[in-house]
């Protein structure tokens, strides 16, 4: 019998520069921080938050998205692992507004595409990780 699940808990992206990645994701999405190591953390606090690996975890709806700063290479969706990460938006007008936001902030994107069952807006983060904004039809 297969294992029954009803959602995913979290995704963690490995990044090269935590400050650069935090600035990008926080400006783009404004997610609240669920966990981060305080700058003035003592040894007990560092031990408590060992799982952050010097990164941060954001609350994204009912799920979590983390950034882990240990990468020394660049992302390639053609290698084994992550292909891309997609986030659902409420409607087409939200997707149009997102495209305008990307334009205003100098973030290159491929324009809104009709993918049949959904509209997608593809772009990349500072480590070249492929991201999509999606509106289901």
Whether the model clears a pTM of 0.95, i.e. scores above it, the answer is no
pLDDT digits (tens, 9 = 90+) for 74-126: 777 777 678 899 999 999 999 999 999 999 999 999 999 999 999 999 999 99
DSSP conformation class of 16: S
**Boundaries of every domain in the chain:** 1-72, 83-137
Distance CA 105, CA 29 (A): 13
CB 109 within 8 A of CB 101: no
pLDDT digits (tens, 9 = 90+) for 22-58: 999 999 999 999 999 988 999 999 999 999 988 999 9
Q: What is the mean pLDDT of residues 1-18?
A: 89
Query: Chain-wide mean pLDDT for the chain?
Result: 93
The pLDDT score that the predictor gives to residue 75 is: 76
The pLDDT score that the predictor gives to residue 10 is: 93
Class of domain 1-72: alpha beta
The domain 83-137 is placed in CATH, from the list 1.10.3720.10, 3.10.180.10, 3.40.50.620, 3.40.50.1980, at 3.10.180.10
The reply to whether 83-137 shares the fold of 1-72 is: yes
The pLDDT score that the predictor gives to residue 49 is: 93
CB 38 within 8 A of CB 48: no
The pLDDT score that the predictor gives to residue 124 is: 96
Q: Which residue has the tokens 């938050």?
A: 49
């Amino acid at each position: 019998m297969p294992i029954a699940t009803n959602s995913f808990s979290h995704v963690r992206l490995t990044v090269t520069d935590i400050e650069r990645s935090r600035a990008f994701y926080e400006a783009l999405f404004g997610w609240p921080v669920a966990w981060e190591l305080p700058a003035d953390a003592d040894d007990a606090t560092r031990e408590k938050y060992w799982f952050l690996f010097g990164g941060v975890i954001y609350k994204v709806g009912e799920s979590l998205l983390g950034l882990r700063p240990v990468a020394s290479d660049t992302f390639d969706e053609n290698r084994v692992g992550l292909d891309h990460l997609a986030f659902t938006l409420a409607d087409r007008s939200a997707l149009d507004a997102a495209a305008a936001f990307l334009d205003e902030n100098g973030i290159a994107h491929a324009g809104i595409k009709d993918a049949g069952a959904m509209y997608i807006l593809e772009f990349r983060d500072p480590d070249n990780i492929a991201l999509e904004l999606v509106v289901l039809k």
